[in-house]
Amino acid sequence: MKSNLACLLCGIAVAVAVAGGPAVAQTAEPSDGPTHVPMQPYRNSDGSLKYGFRGTITTQSWAGYAVTAGAPYTSASATWQVPSVTYDGGSTPYGYEYVLNWVGIGGYGDSTLIQLGSESYVSTSGAASHQVWYELYPAVTQAIPYTVKAGDIITASLQCTTACSPAQVQTWQLTMTDETAGWTWTQNFQYQSSMASAEWITEPPYYNTGFLPLADYVKVTYDPVFANGVNPNLTLAANGIQMSGAWGQTSNPSDPVGGNIFSTCWGTAPSYTACTAGSFTTPPPATTASLSASPTKISPGQGSTLSWSATNASSCRGGGFAASGTSGSAVVLPSVTTAYSVTCTGNGGSATALATVTVSSPKTCQKKHC
């Protein structure tokens, strides 16, 4: 299977049947890459927006908050923690479930959307992956070339720097920082945004004929969010958005705390999980592993002692030799130069260390010295 960003989320023009409302026509998309589409609300038979649980707008994919009263929006930012995700056991067409977390400008009632965020996805076997991306809709999603993992604290922002009017093509500076891993990415783009809204969203991606299943992310907290550099003073009644997905999952926002802190919570239809604003969790410390050989160079028939140890690990296994426990030693008798490894696993992931034992070549008979 190709990368999810390179293949699975390819946007294609369709009309999606909306449960409890008329069909919603998707904007035509390029078919050679993914896009994350503007908000697709459910509507009543008279065309008005459908409101649901706690009076928030109900959509096919978005859950979170959006603001419009301060338009035009020249900046937006958010900090969130990349969620751990699990497969919920439901129906999924491609063997995966997904969740996107992002901050953006536009797309709340119009066809412009500039955004950046993280994506987490999990297979039906339980294997999870994470990545980061940006998008200038309707152009396809582009990967940000850095590694991210569950538990990382991400801060993402959009800032208009030149020609900041909806009537002009603007210059936008997009920045993302992984505060946990210690990297920062920033790049400037030309894009003409409506600048009519700013939003902070949790959602599943769109592919082919509709939105994909939403992975069980439990809860994601955004702390804090800003629009035009200030607290947007969010309220659930005025700014809240909830999601009711076609695959039986729901997602809804908590009441905000202080106007710019909130969480979204995962649930299963037809109910919504009661959601209260949470806080970031401290991820488990990283697992480390070490392996050494003594001596590192031997003659044929000699032995070398491999010693290994690990931190924040529950088990270790050897590659090329038997290892048990999270520390110990073992004697090896290689006949040729051999690379050994030890891989240790814990709550903080896994780590691998390598050591090589060099075996000298046997002495050969030299002329006149046999």
Dihedral of CA atoms 153, 282, 95, 343 in degrees, nearest 10, equals 110
Adjacent-strand bridge partners of 261: 257
Domain 288-359 sits in CATH at: 2.60.40
pLDDT at residue 230, as a whole number: 98
Q: Which CATH superfamily is domain 4-268 in?
A: Peptidase G1 (2.60.120.700)
pLDDT at residue 369, as a whole number: 55
pLDDT at residue 370, as a whole number: 53
- 93 prior amide bond cis, ω within 30: no
- Of residues 8, 187, 158, 184, the one with CA closest to residue 96: 8
Give the C-alpha separation, 166 to 136, whole Å: 15
Q: Where in the chain is the domain with CATH 2.60.40?
A: 288-359
Residues with Cβ within 8 Å of 364's Cβ and at least 6 positions away in sequence, in order, are: none
Give the C-alpha separation, 364 to 165, whole Å: 81
Q: Where in the chain is the domain with CATH 2.60.120.700?
A: 4-268
pLDDT at residue 15, as a whole number: 26
Which two tokens mark 154?
A: 């991400």
Q: What are the pLDDT tens digits along the chain (370 aa)?
A: 233 343 333 222 222 223 333 233 333 333 344 568 899 999 999 999 999 878 899 999 999 999 999 999 999 999 999 999 999 988 887 899 999 999 999 999 999 999 999 999 999 999 999 999 999 999 988 999 999 999 999 999 999 999 999 999 999 999 999 999 999 999 999 999 999 999 999 999 988 778 899 999 999 999 999 999 999 999 999 999 999 998 999 999 999 999 999 999 999 988 899 999 999 988 778 899 999 999 999 999 999 999 999 999 999 999 999 998 999 999 999 999 999 999 999 887 789 999 999 999 876 555 555 5
